[in-house]
Structure 1
């Protein structure tokens, strides 16, 4: 064999995905026989959560009827119609296109790919889901992070957004409710973002995959409901609200001025046609999910609220750690004071305790701050055990720094 080495594409150099990358270390620690407590991946099915039975039955029936071939590229009609009803419920007007994808992740990647050229940029929330920066690295676009304000319940910092807009900015991304902070954006904040998009001719990408998972009686405002002319793509899916992340079923709802959007919509559909279709039988679960019995959500929110409260109380009781209470999703993003590196802290936590959390640097954060993300999906007994271990570890870690 020659010494020839295949050189990977430059576009892959900056692709990182902290949620999965941390698993490499966790797997090594698990091999030593240590008990592992996983608080790192937002997968309800790993714990005591199940999807609605009518979703599963509809998908199974489709497979039994041999609806196992290709579907139309944009998705089956009954799914599109159900998503259109959901868009109307959310108050989204002037809908121009709807398409079903392999998870919301594919919808996001397709819409970014169809919009952004080399050298252009997209305003991306920080902290935010690392998928967005991974896609932008692949597309070789310029990163343009804007900050969420921890002192204001992790709402987008409007002044920071204003400073970051430049002549090469094409769009602004919102994750609402937010991953990793669990914040739910106010109507006033969203309206300010709409006004900025109007002023600077930006497309708004609204990732609303957690829009039904809200605590304390909070309501979700879809940003597309606030303006019918600004070009927006609203992303949703079955993964989180309906607890089937492995089905990989998501969608995009394009709304706004038709003339402004028509060429962009055709570009999106070119990519949709080229990749054939999303999982066909799983699409038959969309209409029963959106239009059927929603009682699983009430049960889910009671469980999540208890686990959220347990999480926030535990984190805020640890000297040197503070945690803004999340209002939605199933994540908390505690802050660690007086350390140099959350990567070092999280790595040592995994090695010494088996508790797996994700360092805040994997989601982006204000320079000079350190955080970690907790997924509070596990049952209370697992969370209590993990939080006790975190508390004891942090005391020891800080003593060793002295």
Structure 2
């Protein structure tokens, strides 16, 4: 018998908790148990729809046979619209804009063009698992910095300072944050800008949820705070415009041209090599960014009710606490216990059919336990799910009384 094909070492540590947990959920679903899915941030699975003018523009492009390859960086109409969006966000000194297959591809390309084996990037913890997956692929050294739960999940500036070393190339920000829903303050962002300038770091500003804000809050793009800081601002249609399946994202490179020129060319080498992002969907960018935003008003009315319900019900469960999200559609409640959250979540799914994602899949301060919920479903589903979580948690603690956090 021939030897097994050995996969590349770089794949050993690639995990994606959001999807990985579905394997167990599918097994439980086969038993006939009713499933309540609070694990995937896809608005289209629930009562959210994209603006009609976005869909119409894309359909029109397809009918006009805009179905071949696009320019590597994207069509001019889209690039120009993204540049005007950058101006509205206060971002100046822009030197390059490119359209990609979702913001995920933009992030992957920009990390690939920057980081060598053994170098590191400061990565928010908790944070979106895409970044750790790419880090593993690129054989980057892990360098997590922590968000402070006691301070509304803002980045811990002192922790960031302590983690910077001579092999640190960049710092990643997810604002609003996935999985916590936190929205960063101007003071916090300015402190990060100063660190980036001092250590010549590139800021990766993931702002994919920048229009999904609660309570009249305003989003501040970190690139808008300093025209000299090297920054790539990532955005896309997936979340704000409710078309995650379109896979349309982008990157905006700003800062000092003399510092960024070689890096920009490296990014474009990769863009050219992979040909182009989806072509007809790019014709939806301009009408999305510049057309009616009424769908956001409707979406935020729904999400505000669901956010408030989430915070109220989860905080009413003894042994669980939840910081109030200020953006996106996620919450990251804490389990005040010593048992690994992965065990709690697995047992929860098997017992109740409620599917959440363990906090360990996003990273967290060592010794703490969390889980992420997506509050996109309607209030009836959320109420049922949170009641099931509360009932199950009390039984769980009775079963493992020595694991209660003191």
Contact 2:107 2:234 (C-alpha < 8 Å) held by counterparts: yes
Looking at structure 2, the residues matched to 4 and 142 of structure 1 have their Cα atoms a distance apart, in angstroms, of 31
- 1:157 Cα deviation after fit: 0.1
* Residue matched to 1:207: 206
Looking at structure 1, the residues matched to 339 and 392 of structure 2 have their Cα atoms a distance apart, in angstroms, of 16
Please tell me whether residue 380 in structure 1 is matched to residue 386 in structure 2.
no
Contact 2:338 2:367 (C-alpha < 8 Å) held by counterparts: no
Looking at structure 2, the residues matched to 137 and 258 of structure 1 have their Cα atoms a distance apart, in angstroms, of 30
* Residue matched to 1:159: 158
Looking at structure 2, the residues matched to 339 and 36 of structure 1 have their Cα atoms a distance apart, in angstroms, of 27
Looking at structure 1, the residues matched to 15 and 48 of structure 2 have their Cα atoms a distance apart, in angstroms, of 29
Please tell me whether residue 287 in structure 1 is matched to residue 277 in structure 2.
no
Contact 2:127 2:179 (C-alpha < 8 Å) held by counterparts: yes
* Residue matched to 2:120: 121
Matches within 5 A, 1:214-253: 214-253=213-252
Looking at structure 1, the residues matched to 336 and 220 of structure 2 have their Cα atoms a distance apart, in angstroms, of 33
Instruction: Extract unaligned runs of 5+ from structure 1.
Output: none
* Residue matched to 2:78: 79
Instruction: Extract unaligned runs of 5+ from structure 2.
Output: 402-406
Equivalent residue of 2:218, what SS?
Answer: coil
- 1:219 Cα deviation after fit: 0.3
* Residue matched to 1:30: 29
Equivalent residue of 1:284, what SS?
Answer: helix
Give CA deviations for 1:263-304 in whole Å, capped at 9, x if unaligned. 000000000000000000000000000010001111111110
Looking at structure 2, the residues matched to 20 and 260 of structure 1 have their Cα atoms a distance apart, in angstroms, of 38
Looking at structure 2, the residues matched to 66 and 338 of structure 1 have their Cα atoms a distance apart, in angstroms, of 57
* Residue matched to 2:349: 350
Equivalent residue of 1:96, what SS?
Answer: strand
Equivalent residue of 2:265, what SS?
Answer: helix
* Residue matched to 1:300: 299
* Residue matched to 1:107: 106
- 1:340 Cα deviation after fit: 1.6
Alignment size in residue pairs: 401
- 1:339 Cα deviation after fit: 3.0
Equivalent residue of 2:143, what SS?
Answer: strand
Looking at structure 2, the residues matched to 152 and 46 of structure 1 have their Cα atoms a distance apart, in angstroms, of 32
TM-score by length of 2: 0.98
* Residue matched to 2:178: 179
* Residue matched to 1:311: 310
* Residue matched to 1:195: 194
Give CA deviations for 1:301-320 in whole Å, capped at 9, x if unaligned. 11100000000000000000
Give CA deviations for 1:169-212 in whole Å, capped at 9, x if unaligned. 00000000000000000000000000000111100000000000
* Residue matched to 2:404: none
- 1:3 Cα deviation after fit: 3.9
* Residue matched to 2:337: 338
Equivalent residue of 1:122, what SS?
Answer: strand
- 1:338 Cα deviation after fit: 1.7
Matches within 5 A, 1:365-376: 365-376=364-375
